[in-house]
Amino acid sequence: MDYAATTPVDKEVIKEMLPYFDKTYGNASSIHTFGRDAFDAVEKAREQVAGIINAKPDEIIFTSGGSESDNLAIKGIAYKNKEKRKSEKNHIITCAIEHPAVLKVCNFLEKQGFNIEYIPVDKNGLININELENAISKDTFLITVMFANNEIGTIEPIEQIGKIAKKNNILFHTDAVQAVGKVPIDVNKQNIDLLSISSHKIYGPKGVGALYIRKGISIESLIHGGGHEKGLRSGTYNTPGIVGLGKACELSKDRFTKDVSHMKKLRDNLIKNVLKIEESYLNGHTTERLCNNTHFRFTAIEGESLNLMLDDKGIAGSTGSACSSKKLQASHVLLSIGLKPEEAHGSLRLTLGRYSTLEEIEYASDVLPDIVKKLRDMSPLWNG
Amino acid sequence: MADFYTKKVMDHFRNPRNMGEIKNADGVGTVGNPQCGDIMTIYIKVKDNRISDIKFKTFGCTAAIASTSIATEMVKGKTLDEAYNLTRNDVAKELGGLPAIKMHCSNLAADALREAINNYRKKKK
């Protein structure tokens, strides 16, 4: 139950990828038949990726994954901007609960002299639109706000932000890594200028992703070399990976309605069951929420212990507890929605996917109350 | 994540020894704070200057639970002075080691035990 961390590769995707390892293994940049066949496969994938967000194929750049896409989008725009406008317009607006692949890039640019504004969110994780609008100045050149949060699953008002960005002539990037295949995305309708996609979150292989860049927007390259991807991202094409991403996008598009209603049904079932546990709470928004996300907190217990006990029962979850992070800090997302560190400690994220079953939900609902009780019996903070 | 911990840590986490409270404890010690995520309370009964019974309660991660559990085992039946000399390193060693990151935040059992002994000695005066 950790599909937000990663997903298994769909069998159809694997089947599609296999020939590109040993049969059609040519370098997609080569002129011979092997190369051209690989090139055709890459271009087909480009169409499939474009198709899931209503973009044009030539607006898609292949990368190594979501983090690279975020880096390329934000640094690429920032560097281009600095060069073109002599760093006069140096203001970027982002959101407090972004993924580290965005936040750390912003921190990095801050050290280079860019001015970054981190807009807070409310207790459900929704960005404060008024503050975002008020933060805009004549120096703002980029807004980057995630489509949906990876921890608590809150879906941000992307269309509204797109409108604001457009009205103010500011570029808008969104990290849609968690949203693809779960929320309808239309870069034109939603006025999105740049959008990050990851393959392994949508039943594709790891190590590949894409960045959508609206036609006419120019960015600076981060990886220089042979001039692949219109000079924006050099490096020999990862043909099997790209083919896999393409197929995964095609499947996600075809199965969208079925996938979403399946996950939503299971999600609501799980939430209903878990909230029967005394002093348990749902983090995140009740309705503006990813169809596969549940995120709970339990008073007086700690998330790492909770997850390891679930692991013993064969259930994989995750937590925003400080104890399980490498930095021993509670999740910035949970603190941003106003939780106290001790509340953040008792958090549990269970995320569902295409292959989740009702049996799994029932099993988890069955074992969770006992584990919570066991940990509470052990806890000096619990006066049950 | 489980690989991150030794078998002994996981054993004490899964089957904590001496877990619970002692109602009429002779000494009680609590350390930690909810901010950093670990709080532990140790209860002791003392007879003839020895720890005759000991129980604990812990809010915290696997390392916190396992280290308190094993510490109670290590000092049960020991004299107060012996128990007082138990160090964080002794506890970690007995567990077969703890991840470096957990050494300071979660390995507080020895501190809680000293608090409990201090509490007993203060009461006795």
Write down the ipTM of this complex. Answer: 0.89
User: Which residue, among A304, A321, A326, A339, would best test binding to B if mutated, counting the most B CBs under 10 Å from its CB?
Assistant: A304
Do strands A293-298 and A140-144 pair parallel, antiparallel, or not at all (unpaired)? unpaired
| Rounded percentage of chain A residues whose pLDDT exceeds 70 | 96
Instruction: Show the domain range for B58.
Output: 2-124
Which chain A residue lies closest to B29 (C-alpha atoms)?
Answer: A380
* Domain count within chain B: 1
Q: Considering the domain boundaries, does residue A384 fall inside one?
A: no
pLDDT, tens digit (0-9, with 9 covering 90-100), for B75-108: 999 999 999 999 999 999 999 988 887 876 678 8
In a domain, A26, yes or no: yes
Mean pLDDT in chain B?
Answer: 90
Q: Do A311 and B36 touch (CB under 8 A)?
A: no
Do A261 and A243 lie in one domain? The reply is no
Query: In whole angstroms, what is the distance from residue A108 CA to residue B94 CA?
Result: 43
Angle at A130 between CA A126 and CA A132, to 5 degrees: 75
User: What is the domain range of residue A271?
Assistant: 256-378
pLDDT value at residue A358: 97
CB contact under 8 A, B1 and A304: yes
Whole-model pTM above 0.90? yes
Query: What is the pLDDT, as a whole number, of residue A87?
Result: 55
* pLDDT, position A199: 97
* Residue A305, in any domain of the structure: yes
List the CATH number of the domain containing B10. Answer: 3.90.1010.10
From A307, A324, A381, residue closest to B39, measured CB to CB: A381
Contact A20, A239 (CB under 8 A): yes
Q: What is the CATH number of the domain that holds A235?
A: 3.40.640.10
Residue recorded with tokens 């005066």: B125
* Mean of pLDDT values over B110-115: 94
**Per-residue model confidence (pLDDT) at position A383:** 80
In terms of domains, do A195 and A167 share one? yes
Question: How far does A326 lie from chain B, in Å, by closest CA?
Answer: 8
So what's the pLDDT on residue A139? Answer: 92
- Residue-level pLDDT at B1: 47
**Is A327 found in the same domain as A261?**
yes
Residue of chain B whose alpha carbon sits nearest to that of A320: B37
A380 vs B16: CB contact, 8 Å cut-off? no
A249: CB partners within 8 A, 6+ apart: A45, A48, A49, A51, A52, A180, A197, A202, A204
**Residue A125 is encoded by which pair of tokens?**
């994780």
Low-confidence residues of chain A, pLDDT below 70? 83-88, 321-328, 384
Could you confirm whether A249 is annotated as catalytic? Answer: no
Backbone angles phi and psi of A176, in degrees to 5: -105, 20
- Residue after which a domain boundary falls, among A219, A254, A289: A254
**Which of B14, B61, B102 should one mutate to test binding to chain A, selecting the residue with the greatest count of A CBs within 10 A?**
B61
The answer to whether B34 contacts A324, with C-beta atoms less than 8 Å apart, is no
Q: Does residue A290 fall inside a structural domain?
A: yes
